[in-house]
């Protein structure tokens, strides 16, 4: 047996040799030794460390899967903000970006770097003394989640850099799941009776957030790194040089990258990438184009959400042909009948689709799609399946236009299409599909936010007679839920039950929902025309369900015979609430006039669900009084409803549209037209970090440059 000094020397040598061969195998795809020889080196290192446990280091190859399961992901702050990218949806928008860059750069030489846009999940890696010390998700760009234990299991992530990095370094890139690994994972999930992933991007993101690193290790994730957070600290002057440094440091860098001297070179690369996208072993959804020179990047600067020196050229939606087999009609919670196309499964933009909504009968007629047609399908935004139209030349003889059924496919009740509306509705409030839709809506994130009550579980509870209306959620017990048959089976054919752990979490979520603000309850009840914004307005105006009920019983005068519209509106306590009006007020009155709905409200009251708003936090200063905020884009720390509620607690008004009267626009990831409108009107823009500061301190915001 080696003495300690010899063991330490041998462990150091083994780690160096293993790191070299791991880089050759996992990163460069050019192994120098056999798998068995590599395994023997790792095994020997493990034996040395077992004999002398104090010699184990964080960057040891034996520690790739060594952390215990975590119950939570701690926040981690990035060395510099991780910006999202503006998108160019087509060649015209790419050309417009080139023109903006040329205008600012002038006559100076400006090369570009074109990189494939990997369809994965963003990642930031921090190294101190060349050793991996932290890995974080992108989060809001400023603060992400600490996923170090999980990232250590990814073989293409070096635990120790192959070069020196004095003072430490943070690098960024993308973690993704190769296509073959994705197919294998979904096959395993399906065989085990578990839900499959929609696409490799979702699978990679979900695998990164596993509480048990061993599960992440089994998912066969990979990475491509493409950025150094502070390249100047390493003496790097160009993005192309930073990519080369990343390669030498031991990272996997996508080999399909081109330094382009002109915009024509960039266009050529984009065209080539589009042609080759399906031949690659991983998913891409476009090309990222960056100004190569860091000094020019500094001059070009940033908007509130994205660098001006980079653009993501997004590929046009991929289109495939398939055969339309059926048009089925779904019945929603409000009785709305929606036609849904079912077609032969086809792989589009990274996942297999077999269904797409046709929205309404008028849309079916406009597109003239018929059962048996060969149809063109795609994903809008590479996400939502849609039917472009039929290939009329391949239409079978004898096909007939589709027509909406005259009775409900769920309950066989009568169908009515209100005048001036495009959606017909089932008039039977006891319709089974409507009931299921109402129950799912009640538990949804935007309403009572009861986590864990998905469509499968709620449907099984309805089938077994446990749920009839939203109040029944509050009589569910952990014992009953634990034994619930999920409808899936194990390999041996035995049914999969929900289990005690999941059941206990659901019951806890149900209990917590009892104290939610009443706008959530009001929205969850599903009154027609009452979305979350209107529900908040009504809750703010009346403060309790009972007060709203009494107001709804007031019959307003009808305009005419000396009664003006303004007078009638003023006499209606519901319609006079800002943002409501007579149509919504009529819907509110109709809801509370239905005795069945009053029974549900009484059951909720008896179950202990709060029907009264507690108001803002006691003593919370109204420091934002008189200010109007607009929220746009995805926020990482809050839902928009949560952020809006926090701002309102400080006295602010939260609006759904941007105008000259808007005080601030809070911009999250993938912000849309509201962000553009704010820029156009010169409205001050805040990022999520500024929103965090407002909510935490209660202080009015300082403006940011747009």
Q: Tokens at residue 557, please?
A: 């005068």
CB 666 within 8 A of CB 638: no
Q: Tokens at residue 49, please?
A: 């460390």
Q: How high does pLDDT run on average in the chain?
A: 86
Give the DSSP letter of residue 24: I
Give the DSSP letter of residue 562: T
pLDDT number for residue 72 = 60
**pLDDT grade for 28, boundaries at 50, 70 and 90:** low
Please say if 117 is a catalytic residue. yes
Q: Mind listing the domains of the chain with CATH numbers? A: 4-63 (1.10.287.610), 87-314 (3.30.470.30), 320-425 (2.40.50.140), 429-513 (1.10.150.20), 518-606 (1.10.150.20), 628-697 (3.40.50.10190)
pLDDT number for residue 67 = 55
pLDDT number for residue 307 = 92
3-state secondary structure 205-262: HHHHCCCCHHHHHCCCCEEEEEEECCHHHHCCCEHHHHHHHHHHHCCCCCCCEEEECC
CB 332 within 8 A of CB 286: no
Percent of the chain scoring above 90 in pLDDT:
42
Q: What is the largest CA-CA distance in the chain?
A: 106
CB 426 within 8 A of CB 434: yes
Q: CA torsion 209→691→658→569, rounded to 10°?
A: 100
pLDDT number for residue 341 = 94
CB 156 within 8 A of CB 252: yes
**pLDDT grade for 706, boundaries at 50, 70 and 90:** very low
pLDDT tens readout for residues 217-273: 888 999 999 999 999 999 999 999 999 999 999 999 999 999 999 999 999 999 999
Cα–Cα dist 614/618, whole Å: 9
Given the residues 117, 290, 648, 653, select the one marked as catalytic.
Answer: 117
Sign of CA dihedral 340, 343, 348, 350: positive
CB 461 within 8 A of CB 506: no
pLDDT greater at residue 324 or residue 189: 324
For residue 304, give the nearest of 694, 686, 658 by alpha carbon.
Answer: 686
pLDDT number for residue 357 = 92
Write the CB contacts of 329 (distance below 8 Å, at least 6 apart in sequence).
337, 338, 339, 340, 404, 405, 409
pLDDT tens readout for residues 623-678: 888 888 999 887 766 777 778 877 877 878 888 788 888 999 998 877 778 888 88
pLDDT number for residue 295 = 95
Q: Tokens at residue 369, please?
A: 């799609």
**pLDDT grade for 193, boundaries at 50, 70 and 90:** low
Cα–Cα dist 613/604, whole Å: 15
- For the beta sheet containing 351-357, the strands, ordered from the edge strand earlier in sequence to the opposite edge, are 351-357, 337-348, 320-331, 374-380, 384-390
pLDDT tens readout for residues 492-519: 778 878 888 888 999 999 999 999 999 9
Angle CA(663)–CA(665)–CA(667) in degrees, nearest 5?
165
CB 172 within 8 A of CB 118: no
CA dist list (Å): 125 to 81, 143, 300, 580, 637? 13, 13, 26, 49, 21
For residue 616, give the nearest of 531, 688, 695, 522 by alpha carbon.
Answer: 695
Range 82-111 average pLDDT? 91
Question: CB 132: neighbour CB atoms within 10 A?
Answer: 19
Confidence (pTM): 0.59
**pLDDT grade for 116, boundaries at 50, 70 and 90:** very high
pLDDT greater at residue 64 or residue 84: 84
């Amino acid at each position: 047996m080696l003495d300690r000094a010899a063991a330490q020397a041998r462990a150091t040598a083994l780690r160096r040799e293993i790191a070299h061969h791991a880089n050759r195998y996992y990163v460069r795809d050019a192994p120098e030794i056999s798998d068995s020889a590599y395994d023997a080196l790792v095994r020997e290192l493990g034996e040395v460390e077992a004999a002398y446990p104090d010699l184990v280091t964080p960057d040891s190859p034996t520690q790739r899967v060594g952390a215990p399961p975590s119950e939570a992901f701690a926040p981690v702050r990035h060395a510099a903000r991780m910006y999202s990218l503006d998108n160019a949806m087509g060649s015209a928008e790419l050309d417009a970006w080139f023109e903006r860059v040329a205008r600012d750069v002038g006559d100076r030489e400006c090369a570009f770097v074109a990189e494939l846009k990997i369809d994965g999940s963003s990642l930031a890696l921090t190294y101190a003394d060349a050793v991996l010390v932290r890995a974080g998700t992108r989060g809001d760009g400023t603060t992400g989640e600490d996923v170090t234990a999980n990232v250590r299991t990814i073989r293409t992530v070096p635990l120790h850099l192959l070069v020196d990095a004095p003072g430490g370094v943070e690098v960024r890139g993308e973690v993704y799941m190769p296509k073959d690994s994705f197919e294998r994972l979904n096959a395993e999930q399906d065989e085990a009776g578990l839900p499959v992933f929609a696409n490799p991007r979702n699978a990679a993101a979900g695998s990164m957030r596993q509480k048990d690193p061993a599960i992440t290790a089994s998912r066969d994730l990979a990475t491509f790194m493409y950025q150094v957070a502070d390249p100047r600290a390493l003496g790097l002057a160009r993005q192309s040089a930073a990519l080369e440094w990343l390669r030498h440091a031991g990272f996997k860098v996508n080999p399909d990258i081109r330094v382009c001297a002109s915009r024509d070179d960039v266009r050529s690369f984009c065209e080539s990438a589009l042609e080759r996208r399906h031949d690659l072993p991983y998913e891409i959804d476009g090309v990222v184009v960056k100004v190569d020179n860091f000094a020019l990047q500094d001059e070009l600067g940033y908007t509130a959400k994205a660098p001006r020196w980079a653009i993501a050229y997004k590929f046009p939606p991929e289109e495939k042909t398939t055969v339309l087999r059926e048009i089925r009609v779904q019945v929603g919670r409000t009785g709305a009948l929606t036609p849904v196309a079912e077609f032969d499964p086809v792989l589009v933009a990274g996942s297999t689709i077999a269904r797409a909504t046709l929205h309404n009968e008028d849309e079916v007629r406009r597109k003239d799609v018929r059962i048996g047609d060969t149809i063109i399908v795609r994903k809008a935004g590479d996400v939502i399946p849609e039917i472009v139209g039929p290939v009329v030349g391949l239409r079978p003889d004898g096909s007939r236009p589709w027509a909406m059924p005259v009775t409900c496919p769920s309950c066989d009740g009568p169908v009515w299409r209100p005048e001036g509306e495009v959606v017909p509705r089932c008039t039977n409030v006891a319709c089974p599909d409507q009931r299921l839709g109402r129950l799912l809506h009640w538990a949804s994130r935007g309403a009572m936010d009861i986590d864990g009550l998905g469509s499968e579980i709620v449907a099984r509870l309805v089938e077994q007679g446990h749920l009839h209306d939203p109040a029944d959620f509050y009589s569910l017990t952990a014992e009953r839920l634990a034994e619930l048959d999920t409808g899936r089976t194990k390999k041996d054919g035995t049914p999969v039950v929900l289990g005690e752990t999941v059941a206990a979490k659901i019951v806890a979520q149900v209990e917590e929902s009892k104290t939610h603000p009443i706008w959530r309850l009001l929205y969850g009840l599903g009154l027609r025309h009452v979305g979350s914004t209107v529900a908040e307005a009504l809750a703010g105006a009346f403060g309790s369900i009972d007060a709203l009920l009494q107001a709804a019983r007031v019959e307003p005068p009808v305009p005419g015979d000396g009664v003006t519209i303004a007078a009638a509106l003023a006499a209606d306590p519901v319609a006079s609430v800002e943002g409501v009006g007579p149509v919504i007020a009529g819907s509110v009155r109709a809801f509370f006039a239905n005795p069945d709905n009053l029974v549900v409200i009484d059951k909720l009251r008896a179950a202990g669900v709060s029907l009264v708003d507690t108001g803002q936090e006691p003593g919370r200063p109204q420091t934002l009084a008189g200010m109007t905020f607009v929220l746009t884009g995805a926020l990482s720390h809050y839902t928009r409803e949560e952020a809006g509620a926090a701002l309102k607690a400080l006295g602010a008004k939260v609006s759904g549209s941007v105008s000259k009267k808007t005080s601030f626009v809070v911009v999250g990831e993938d912000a849309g037209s509201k962000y553009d409108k704010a820029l156009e009107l010169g409205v001050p823009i805040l990022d999520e970090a500024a929103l965090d500061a407002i909510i935490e301190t209660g202080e009015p915001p300082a403006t940011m440059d747009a």
